[in-house]
Chain A
Amino acid sequence: MRLELKNISKSFQQKPVLSSVNLQLNENQVISVLGKSGSGKTSLLKIIAGLEKPDSGDVFLNQKSILNKKVNQRQIVYLFQEALLFPHLNVFDNIAFGLQAQKVEATEIESRVKAILKEIALSDHSSKFPLQLSGGEKQRVAFARAIIIEPQVLLLDEPFGALDVETRENMQKLFLKLIKQYGISALFVTHDLKEALMIGDQIAKIDHGHLRTYQNKKDFIQDEKSGVKEEIDFWTKIQEFE
């Protein structure tokens, strides 16, 4: 699997959101895309998923353009900031949704859903409705629903933004475990520096629609514009103050 973005540009009401963005995501790789609110992160993900069209540029999956491919045929799952579980379906049916859409046999769906429910430690919650779950549990179900169909690429739009610190850390660990286990490539968008460093194999930074990809985490940390230095300075000052 290889996802490639070539010269993607997008404007809304003549205001540029993305300017000639280039990106390459390889097999089993996780790239953290770091950026502030309004930097163009969500637009970038929506273009890859097919939910928005770029003004120019192309998106390639395994060397083939997918720009004119329908959203449901791209094998790219987009996880929104909210868990967005289907409110009228229970946990089991939420997770099984993608497999049912692909017309997988009922017996296989059952065994696969049960297996993933075990992975996310929600076996006892399979008949519960989203309203009956906590924020962290909802996100776990949303993950399982995305991962079970084994997409080529998983796009995550600040999925842990609304969670408390402890749940957030647990979710980050679970995400890394599952993504490696299922061998899925992912673009992980966040505005949290620590989270970006923890999750990504590689880091990219988006600012006012311009994307810069760093070769490795070391390059990113050493870059003065990355914000890492300010973060370290801040914590050093706090320590000195104490």
Chain B
Amino acid sequence: MLKRTIHLVLITLILLPILVLMMLSFGEQWIFPDVFPQNFNTKTWLKLFSSDSEISKSLGLSVLISLSVAFLSTLMAFVFSKVISTSKYKNQYIKLAYLPYILSPVVLGVLWHYFAVVLKLNASFFGVVLAQFLICFPFGFIILSSFWSRHIYDIQNLSFTLGASTYFSFKRIIFPLAKPILGLCFFQCFLISWFDYGLTQLIGGGQIKTLTLSVFNFIKEANIFLAAIASLLLLFPPLLLLFFNKKIKFKRSLINTH
């Protein structure tokens, strides 16, 4: 009974804010002390699909930035973690990768801002991508370093002795084995980028309007209905991540034989 009550309370706590956001996004004229908005319609949602919609532009830009950051970080982290896995300074490199998390992101942003200005990358798409990459790459490196164990090297060596070339071994053995952790790394980097506000604001100089920035702008403008839509769109990737996480966990249980 207690377990059931706790479950119910937890589910309510998780779903209630989403429910309020849903009501706000479909609602119109929600004035105190009304419990619910006076009207429900799809007007605000339809704005999203209009050609000059700021939200849809922000959504597109956010997706592009986050995909670029996640792809670049995962790829580079995979290559670097492989190279460093055989180095005698491996542990030192991993400790070094924690540096961006010891520093405050704002401090890191200010430091990067100087270089972004010098390199003329401030207020640009690439400047923001690079700034976010500086946070995501070490994160990916830390995650992927755990993949390159002795067991993986033994499996790779075995595939070589069975006649596999480096490419064939990568295609048939290493990549499929790394896929779950690569997926995890990709989505985590995507989320870090997706929810980033400080760095994007600082490096983007207000010119790069991602969805997170839009949410804050709508709140500042007291446009709670558009802010609700933007917030719901922001929630979509974490939900997707939860769905994929389940799949990844299942696959890992099949693979873990040792």
Contacts and interface: CB of A to CB of B under 8 A. Distances in A.
Interface of A: 49-51, 70-72, 74-78, 80, 82, 84-89, 97-98, 100-102, 129-131, 145-146, 149
B223 to A, nearest CB: 49
A100 B172 CA distance: 10
Interface stretch (B1-9, B39-47, B99-107, B152-160): B152-160
A109 B154 CA distance: 25
B50 interface: no
B161 A72 contact: yes
B258 A78 contact: no
Nearest to A94: B162
B168 A71 contact: no
Given A49-B161, A50-B161, 17 more contacts: A51-B157, A70-B160, A71-B157, A78-B157, A80-B154, A82-B154, A86-B173, A87-B177, A87-B257, A88-B177, A88-B255, A97-B159, A97-B172, A98-B163, A131-B254, A131-B257, A145-B162
Given A86-B155, A87-B177, A97-B172, A146 B257 contact: no
A202 B172 CA distance: 38
A100 B162 CA distance: 10
A146 B172 CA distance: 17
A131 B173 CA distance: 16
B89 to A, nearest CB: 16
B158 A130 contact: no
- Among B154, B160, B172, residue most surrounded by chain A Cβ atoms (within 10 Å): B160
25 contacts: A49-B161, A71-B161, A72-B160, A72-B161, A72-B164, A77-B162, A78-B157, A82-B258, A84-B158, A86-B159, A86-B172, A86-B177, A87-B254, A87-B256, A88-B177, A88-B255, A89-B172, A97-B159, A98-B162, A102-B163, A130-B257, A131-B255, A131-B257, A145-B162, A149-B163
Contact of A149 (B162, B172, B255, B257): B162
B145 to A, nearest CB: 20
A100 to B, nearest CB: 7
Interface string B227-258: 00000000000000000000000000011111
> What 9 A-B pairs are tightest by C-beta distance, nearest first?
A98-B162, A71-B160, A101-B164, A101-B163, A78-B161, A87-B255, A87-B257, A72-B160, A88-B176
A101 B168 CA distance: 7
A49 B159 CA distance: 12
Nearest to B155: A84
A171 B215 CA distance: 66
B147 to A, nearest CB: 14
Contacts, number: 75
B165 interface: yes
A129 B162 CA distance: 19
A223 to B, nearest CB: 33
| Residue in B154, B159, B162, B256 whose Cβ sees the most chain A Cβ within 10 Å | B162
Nearest to A70: B160
B154 A146 contact: no
Nearest to A155: B161
Identify which of A84, A145, A146 gathers the most chain B CB atoms within 10 Å of its CB: A84
A72 B254 contact: no
Contacts of A89: 172
Contacts of B176: 88
A77 B158 CA distance: 8
Interface string B139-157: 0000000000000001101
B158 A80 contact: yes
Contacts of A72: 160-165
Given A71-B157, A86-B173, A88-B177, A97 B254 contact: no
Contacts of A86: 155, 159, 172-173, 177
A42 to B, nearest CB: 11
B154 A84 contact: yes
Contacts of A145: 162
Nearest to B166: A72
Contacts of A77: 161-162
A74 B257 CA distance: 29
Contacts of B160: 50-51, 70-72
